[in-house]
Chain A
Amino acid sequence: MNKQSSFLKLALPLLIGVAIVGASCKKYLYEAPITSTYGKEFWTSQTSVEQASLAMYGQLRASLRSDRSYFINGDLASGMFEASYPNWWNYSPVSTHNPYAGGNFNFSYVPYLEGSLQNWSRFYQIIAQANLILQNVPQMSSSLFTNESVRSGYLGEALFMRAYTYFYITRIWGDPVFVTQSYNDVDYGKIPPIARSKESVVLDSCIADLNKAAGYLDFAGGSPAKSTRANKGTVYALLAHIYAWRHDYANTHLACQQVMNNGGYSLEPMASYKNLWKGQSSNESIFELSMTYNPNDPNFSGQGDWAEAKFDFFGKTFLKGPIVDNVNSTCWISLKDGFVDQFMDTARDARYKSTLTYTPATGGDKAGYMLLKYANFFYQKPDSKTLPYINNNLVLFRLSDVVLLDAEALASQGDITGAKQRLALTEGRAGITSYQIPSTQYDVLDEVVIERGRELMGEGQWFYDLIRTEPTQQWLEYVGYQADRVSPVNKGYYWPLDMGTLFPQDNLLTQNPWWATHK
């Protein structure tokens, strides 16, 4: 009896003690990191949404810059430039004068560039980031935002960025793998594979998203300060491009009209033409990616993927010799007797004078024309001439691009006068009048293709113009592609996918038609 009570006297406090310790331990079991933010904590403020949105632009910038793929895909593949051998030996197979066996424009032989040219993985990071914003932002309390239109603005930007990315993928590799969900809390060892979706299905969805985004966003009134982010003008410029890609020229024209009439943009005068690439300096700019030097950029000295200003992207691509203090002796040259000599009135075209310069054959390069659009070049340490960077932005959409798309749309629909009016805007600014000569629909469209080349040279556009107009104009054959490769069935203007890397990740993935038998 006595023993029993002494037992209870002792055991009771003990049990209580154990219970208290146990309960207070519980909170330690939910210990969360303080060294990095994480999902649950992150989506709780407008600032976070802003930071997440900026990440999409930064990812797009890094993805387009990767191995200069923006220019390889848009310019080099059109034969407008040549990457000279030997310094650009692995870029050379892409350009016309291919020193290797295997034919011109050999997209399947790009050693060490497979990761950017034959692999679309990096673009899915942007899509995942957009999906994350589209999933989380609607669930956030409205009290966290200045007002509802701020919230919907972020949704509009994410919808735009996702559509832009899918459209970009589509123009390079054709049918994308289409994902609009986020992957959280699944069995990561057993993620089901996804087959490619038809290009038309994906673009339908992009158009629907963009129409929604147009409702969420406002026009920027042509303000250069707002050109580095998506706005209603950006949305319509992209819609114009997507409609044109699908040859839906009625809608292309409507979208172009939105940009031209309501966007608030105006063409940059020829005198200040190079302001276009200077960074947020032109009323003509619709959408540009920020790449100018920022003294607070922690990535600058390491020149990582996320560095705002990178020397390599513009500098080592297009510049050499005295411009960059002989930092590089070779660069991409638009060959003598090539595009410039064939299609540009070098005596009159003011664009020739301001953005191109003839260089004789040097250092392994053939003679040709060097592009000076992105020559806003500095050293971070001028005394020692170290840390060179190019202080330019990359312009993705600008008004003359949209004007010429409208010309293409009008010409395609038979409105030759309207098309010539549009052509007159850009050609007139440059001081040429070749738009006056053609009279047939076919010739006007040719003039549009050529004028787009002259105007947008080195801006990552012309190859897509050639693909888009291929059914009627056959420019791809003109620049050197075999006819059966670029036939509507074979679509050999698309790049092959690096199946060795991608197939193990997705067993439903298929190779592009031409490369299934030619890689």
Chain B
Amino acid sequence: MENVNVPFYQNHTSMLITMLRKRLLLYAVALTCSSFVFAQQKITGSVKDKEGNPLKGSTVSEKGVSKNATKTNEAGSFSITLQGSSKTLLITNVGFKRQEVAVGQNSSVDVILAEDASALADVVIVGVQRQLRRTTTASVTSVLAKDIENLPAPSVDQLLQGRVAGLNVQIGSGEPGVAPTIVVRGNSRVNTNISDENVAQAHALSSPLYVIDGVPTNPEDISNNIDATGTNYLAGININDIESVDVQKDAAATAAWGSRGANGVIYIRTKRGRSAKPEFRVNIYGGITQRPELLPTLTGAAERSQKLELINQYASPAQLANLPQILTDRFNPSFNNATDWQGLFYRQGNVKNVDATISAGSENVSYRISANYYDEKGIIQSFGFTRYSVRGNFDFKISPKLNSQFIVALSKNDRQRGMKYYGNSDDNTPVSGAGQPSSFYRLTAFDSSNFTGLFSKLRNKNVNDLYNASLTLNYSILPELRYTFQGAANISTSNRDYFQPSNIDAVSVANGGSAQPSFAQSDKGTYSTYFLSNALNFTKRITTASSHVHNFALTGSQQFSADVSNTSSTSGYNVPSNNIQVVSGIPQSDLSGRSNYAAAALLSFAGQLQYDYDGKYLLYGSYRGDASSRFGENAKWGYFPAVGAGWIVSDEGFMSKAKSVVNYLKVRGSYGISGLNSGNFYAPYNSYVIPGTYNGGVAIQPSYNNGLTKNNLTWTKTIQKNIGIETQFFNSRISLTVDAYDKLAKDDYYTFELPFYTGFQSIEFNAHDLWVSNRGLDITLSTRNLSRTSPLQWNTQLTVSYNKNAVAKLPNNNRTFVVDDAYGASRIFAVGQPIYEMFQLKYLGVYNKQSDIPFNPLTGNVITYFKGNHKVVPGDPIWLDVNNIGDVWPDEDNGAQYGDRIPTGDPNPKFTGGFVNDFSYKNFSLSVISIFTWKRDVINTFFQQQISHVVGGYSSSINSFANSRLPDLSKLNYWTPQKLKDDPNYKADFPSLNPFGPSYYQYIPISSQFNEDGSYFKIKNVVLSYQLPRTFINRAKLVGARVYAIVDNIATFKNSTMPNPELVDQLGNYTGGLYPTPTKFTLGVDIQF
């Protein structure tokens, strides 16, 4: 009676797998009716969960005898009379693992059902089709609620780090509410506007599509249109409401999503009511976030003596006689202080979270209602994040043929972000990063109130609200044919009110800066997405005469979504009083205001076909057409096909002997095309602008940057091939999944610089010659390290993602080009090189003595830098003379053949992953979650800027040296004339740090001197939890109780001087102003009543 798998195929389109399981079991029992009658044996017993709670409503049936089944009562007890010969009971309950119990001659059986967390994970949703994980040909990895619940983070995306092979999550800022960067299988976006820091941070990398309970949501579209606050969209979702997160990676999974599927799809499902008995649950945690360790800095006398020491090393007598007053006048009360500027802003923060949940599940209605409060006080003054959210998930079974789901979610988040004005810039403190002044300056009470107390007058309110509602109807027209309708509305608002009082920075005024006028701004934005979907799903099972089985599932769907964005902004300088903190009373000439409206729509049709033969040979095909309003009228439609095939080898007869070793082996492959919608709602329209007036008359002209029509603007295409192997060994104790992929993105939107004779400057259009290749491996290895019977359980999961990123083709006949980023480091875009590869002079150490310096082969003189402008002397950095002409320079204007810059570093990590260990022993469980990034280059821009202040970057000045904070140079073995004199064989680790110069740009990121190894291994979380003993719970009249302690962000192991090499921007710049990731200690309790 091979009926274990059968019911899946017949009912697998059911919306609720939990209900499905329950129903199909009954069906299975019915099918396996036996006409034989055996001696009767009465069995009584009870069914409980592993905490000892009685499980009411569990189905107890006799194996092999249809219709002989009963249900447990309130106390979990049952009674059944056996009629068949199997003498085996089948016990099932929603959300628990099905269990078979051989009763033998016993008359009483007590059964403990294990919770089945993987029940949901057994199904993945691809497009609008449900697929069984076992028979899907797609590459999908899931993260389940138990892996991420209660971890102290504002948004779920951060918690996916290290959990999913192929997903690279980097948390570049510890600021609460800021989105991490998420890239699925390598970056495919080539952004040439990286000289704008904000553009680089928001749009340098390709980000995936999110689908939340069936509704496609594009956070990038939302933030592009209404980003008043810069807050992560996903921070509006309570992590403890999330049931599972599926990361869909290959074309078989993503092509069915069409628009934006090209960059991967992240499918988030929220929790539903499951427990038979109404359950009330309160979960509270709270803790502290540790003030970060500040960078070592010298203050006061220590700073003065170090600075003078440095000066003494290099200065000539004339230079010594002419030092800036701030250094020499140590009795001047303005200059004899020891102000630690960084200490002004950092503090210990805290985090609090409260969840309250009511849920229940029954035959006809199930529900789950949750409320959440999350509050994080930042580790920098005036930073923080607060969320209030409510979510209700309701399931109704209206008739045997009709059921419905309704989801409603509301959330408000309120983010404090210091004086940050736009986007997620680096200005976390008023004197940020490398730009901090010398400690000599006196911090007056006025300055102090301006800096630390600025928050009493500064107003920076960033509120995001989310309102989501979704209704789904399923109607079984025929047993094989089901119609599904889904309608949803997601409304997201972003409101920012900002006020900056006048004259906030007295130090800059004292240093000759001018007083700042006060400034007030109010930005409001609403982004609404409306989504409608109609789907018909036909499933058919055909059993042939030779008892082979053909299973078909055919889904046809139509979807429509509309996005509408509305924004307004008013702002002005010179608010009459610092007590008025809104846009009011501002002089007309200083006032500005505008509003904006944008709407876009997407219409899609998709067909998906799954077929399998005996559940062993798997085929899949999908075809999707999308029409987007964001494309030109000649090219609105894009078509995205995908095919997949799979073979479950372990089900073959010839494998039966190997079953004890390899109990599961599946091979699958897929090929397909997915697309990317334009980020610009009105991309095809040439916009006309009002540049101003001529003789009083208004003039209108096409925009120089988007002034030409683009009726042929269309979808980008990503072609992806994937081969995967899924294996399980030794009765599933070891499972290993390996996927190899080759992803080629084409026709991406690219800002073409137009030739001057067109009269226009630039235009964004499909670059038919811009191809980006990402190839790699996704590896997941899970092991159960101890035997199933051991009281101590230890499970390990290792995920490794390998990605090789390269530009495969470039516009203008593969013309290589170089763009400088916001910090002055050049990035080369060349065929075969990774995107954003650093392009610098190669730094090779220090010329310690004259005899080390080579000669120019033509002139016989010592080599020079910058076309002869700087003659190399001892103490200078060694820069590789690539073209071997006796001169080294970067060459900015004469074409690469003359310069000496070479590719010097790849900011795209080659390997990322995670290492997770879960231990459980009796009532205790312990999880240790580690993540790693390996083979990544970053630039320590922070250190470079500090050094720049000492010796001059673009120009050297003893005054900038005197006025700026001195980095700790005590551990730096820098070259000085004296050290050479003392020891002729002396070897310096760092070039000369002469504050008197000369500066020939040696300390700007022109060379690879400040590049560092960006690899790290981080113990991210340790979670210890303890299930309170049954006896205590019963005495307290509770249903369950658990306490847990979590340490977040414990330790980082690295091979670089930066405190945390993960804190770099999207292009791999470590700037020191990025918000540190704090260590959090939390304690929590989870109680069920």
- Tell me, in angstroms, the Cα distance from A14 to B755 when the chains sit together: 53
Main secondary structure of the interface of B (DSSP, over half): strand
Spot the interface stretch: B94-102, B212-220, B475-483, B1041-1049.
Answer: B475-483
B866 adjacent to chain A (CB < 8 Å): no
Q: Is A339 an interface residue (CB 8 A)?
A: no
Enumerate A22-67 residues with CB–CB distance to B below 8 Å: 22, 25-26, 28-40, 42, 48, 50-52, 54-55, 57-59, 61
Whole-angstrom distance from the CB of B766 to the nearest CB of chain A? Answer: 8
B692 touches A29 (CB 8 A): no
- Whether A306 contacts B692 by the Cβ 8 Å rule is yes
Q: Tell me which residues across on chain B come within 8 A of A500, comparing CB atoms.
A: 893-894
- Which single member of B598, B688, B750, B755 contacts A191 (CB below 8 Å)? B755
Q: Contacts A35-B597, A185-B712 given; indicate if A307 touches B697 (C-beta within 8 A).
A: no
Cβ contact within 8 Å between A189 and B599: no
Task: From B603, B755, B763, give the contact of A25 (CB < 8 A).
Answer: B603
- Measured between alpha carbons, how far is A125 from B765 in the docked complex, in Å? 20
Interface: B1000 (CB within 8 A): no
**How many Å lie between the Cα of A280 and that of B221 in the bound state?**
50
- The reply to whether A48 and B758 contact each other, CB–CB distance below 8 Å, is no
What are the interface flags for A106-135 relative to B under an 8 Å C-beta threshold, 1 for contact and 0 otherwise?
A: 000000000000011100111111011000
One digit per residue, 1 when the CB lies within 8 angstroms of any chain A CB and 0 when it does not, for chain B 750-765 equals 1011111111110101
Q: Is the CB of B694 within 8 A of A57?
A: yes
Task: Convert A276-316 into 0s and 1s, putting 1 for each residue whose CB lies closer than 8 angstroms to a CB of B.
Answer: 00000000000000100010111101001111100000000
The answer on a CB contact under 8 Å between B477 and A189 is no
A58 B691 Cβ-Cβ under 8 A = yes
Interface residue stretch chosen among A3-11, A83-91, A433-441: A3-11
CA distance in complex: A236, B1009 (Å): 64
Q: How far is the CA of A54 from the CA of B761 in the complex (A)?
A: 20
Q: Does the CB pair B693–A58 fall under 8 Å?
A: yes
Q: Are A36 and B478 in contact (CB under 8 A)?
A: no
Q: Quick check: B692 and A307 within 8 Å, CB to CB?
A: yes
What are the interface flags for A71-98 relative to B under an 8 Å C-beta threshold, 1 for contact and 0 otherwise? Answer: 0000000000000000000000000000
* Interface check A271, CB cutoff 8 A: no
- B984 interface hit (Cβ, 8 Å): no
A252 lies within 8 A of chain B by Cβ: no
Residues of B within 8 A of A55 (CB): 691, 694, 699-701
Partner of B758, one of A36, A54, A128, A228: A128
**In the complex, residue of chain A having the shortest beta-carbon distance to the beta carbon of B704:** A125
Indicate if A230 sits at the interface (CB-CB under 8 A): no
Which B residues between 700 and 725 are near A, CB-CB below 8 angstroms? 700-704, 708-712
Within the complex, the shortest CB–CB distance from A413 to chain B, in Å, comes to 37
| Stretch in contact with the other chain, from B133-141, B627-635, B910-918 | B627-635
Are A22 and B603 closer than 8 Å at their CB atoms?
A: yes
Interfacial chain A residues near B686, Cβ < 8 Å: 38-39, 184
Contact B756 A54 (CB under 8 A): no
Tell whether, in the assembled complex, residue B768 and residue A189 are in contact, meaning their CB atoms are under 8 Å apart. Answer: yes
Contact A33 B682, CB 8 Å, known A25-B601, A177-B757, A189-B767? yes
Residues in A with CB closer than 8 Å to B766 are 189
Q: Verify A33–B687 contact, CB threshold 8 A.
A: yes
Number of interface residues of A (CB under 8 A): 76
- The reply to whether A21 and B532 form a contact with Cβ atoms under 8 Å apart is yes
A179 within 8 A of B: yes
For B481, the closest partner residue in chain A by CB is A7
Within 8 A of A (CB), among B581-614: 589, 596-601, 603
Verify if B339 is at the interface (C-beta below 8 Å from A).
no
Q: A188-B765, A189-B811, A191-B755 are in contact. Are A54 and B709 (CB under 8 A)?
A: no
Q: Tell me which residues across on chain A come within 8 A of B758, comparing CB atoms.
A: 124, 128, 179, 183, 191
Cβ of A361 < 8 Å from any Cβ of B?
Answer: no
Q: How far is the CB of B313 from chain A (nearest CB, A)?
A: 34
Q: In the complex, what distance in Å separates the CA atom of A305 from the CA atom of B692?
A: 9
Given contacts A184-B708, A185-B709, A188-B763, contact A42 B477 (CB under 8 A): no
**Is A18 at the interface (CB under 8 A from chain B)?**
yes
A34: contacting residue among B597, B700, B768, CB under 8 A: B597
Q: Which residues of chain B are within 8 angstroms of A54 by Cβ–Cβ distance?
A: 693-695, 697-700
Min CB gap B671→A, angstroms: 27
**B759 is contacted by which of A34, A128, A185, A298 (Cβ under 8 Å)?**
A128
Find out whether the CB atom of B710 lies under 8 angstroms from the CB atom of A185.
yes
CB distance from B684 to the nearest CB of A (A): 9
Which chain A positions have C-beta within 8 A of B477? 6-7, 10-11
**Which residue of A11, A39, A120, A290 is within 8 Å of B709 (Cβ)?**
A39
Chain A contacts for B756, CB-based, 8 A: 119-121, 124, 177, 502, 505-506
Closest to B687 in A: A36
Q: A22-B603, A48-B700, A304-B692 are in contact. Are A505 and B629 (CB under 8 A)?
A: no
Cα–Cα, bound, A48→B698 (Å): 10
| A10 CB contact (under 8 Å) in B483, B752, B763 | B483
Beta-carbon contacts under 8 Å, B659-688 to A:
681-682, 685-688
With A42-B688, A189-B812 as given contacts, are A31 and B596 in contact (CB-CB < 8 Å)? no
- Given A124-B756, A502-B756: A228 and B701 interface contact (C-beta under 8 Å): no
Q: Is the CB of A17 within 8 A of B600?
A: no
Residues of A within 8 A of B701 (CB): 52, 55, 58-59, 125, 129
Task: Say yes or no for B990: interface residue by CB 8 A criterion.
Answer: no
Across the interface, do B699 and A58 meet the contact criterion of CB distance under 8 Å? yes
Cβ A193 vs Cβ B697 within 8 A: no
B755–A308 touching, CB < 8 Å = no
Q: Cα distance A11–B688 when bound, in Å?
A: 48
- Is B833 interfacial (CB-CB < 8 Å)? no
B512 interface contact, C-beta 8 A? no
A185 contact from B481, B600, B697, B711, Cβ within 8 A: B711
B481 touches A189 (CB 8 A): no
Q: Kindly list chain A residues whose C-beta atoms are within 8 Å of the C-beta of B688.
A: 36-39, 42
A340 to chain B, nearest CB (A): 33
Q: How far is the CB of B631 from chain A (nearest CB, A)?
A: 9
State in angstroms the CA–CA spacing of A61 and B695 once bound together.
11
Complex Cα distance, B694 from A297, in Å, reads 9
Residue A194 CB within 8 A of the other chain: yes
- Interface positions, chain A 180-225, Cβ under 8 Å from B, are 183-185, 187-189, 191, 193-194
Please, how many angstroms separate the alpha-carbon atoms of A119 and B761 in the complex? 13
- With CB as the reference atom, state the residue of chain A lying closest to B600: A31
Contacts of A505 in B (CB 8 A): 753-756
**Closest Cβ of chain A: how far from B480's Cβ, in Å?**
11
Query: Which of these, A10, A25, A124, A187, contacts B757 with CB under 8 Å?
Result: A124
How far, in Å, is A423 (CB) from chain B's closest CB? Answer: 34
B residues less than 8 Å from A185 (CB atoms): 708-712
CB distance from B788 to the nearest CB of A (A): 48
Cβ of B71 within 8 Å of any chain A Cβ, yes or no, is no
Chain B residue nearest in CB terms to A290: B695
Query: Which of chain A's residues have a CB closer than 8 A to the CB of B682?
Result: 32-33, 38
Is B959 in the interface zone, CB < 8 Å from A? no
| Contact pick for A33, options B560, B598, B710, CB 8 Å | B598
Query: Once bound together, how far apart are the Cα atoms of A304 and B589, in whole Å?
Result: 15
- Does B692 contact A58, Cβ atoms closer than 8 Å? yes
Whether the pair A30, B693 counts as a contact (CB closer than 8 A) is: no
Closest to A62 in B: B691
Shortest A150–chain B CB gap in Å is 15
Q: Are A37 and B700 in contact (CB under 8 A)?
A: yes
Contact check, A14 vs B750: say whether CB atoms are below 8 A apart.
no
Contact B600 A26 (CB under 8 A): no
Known: A7-B481, A38-B688. 4 other contacts (CB 8 A): A21-B560, A38-B686, A120-B756, A297-B692
A-B contact pairs, 9 of them (CB 8 A): A7-B477, A22-B558, A28-B601, A36-B688, A51-B697, A228-B695, A500-B894, A502-B756, A506-B755
Binding site for B on A (CB under 8 A): 3, 6-7, 10-11, 14, 17-18, 21-22, 25-26, 28-40, 42, 48, 50-52, 54-55, 57-59, 61, 119-121, 124-129, 131-132, 177, 179, 183-185, 187-189, 191, 193-194, 228, 290, 294, 296-299, 301, 304-308, 500, 502, 504-506
3 residue pairs, one from A and one from B, having the closest CB atoms: A128-B759, A306-B692, A28-B601
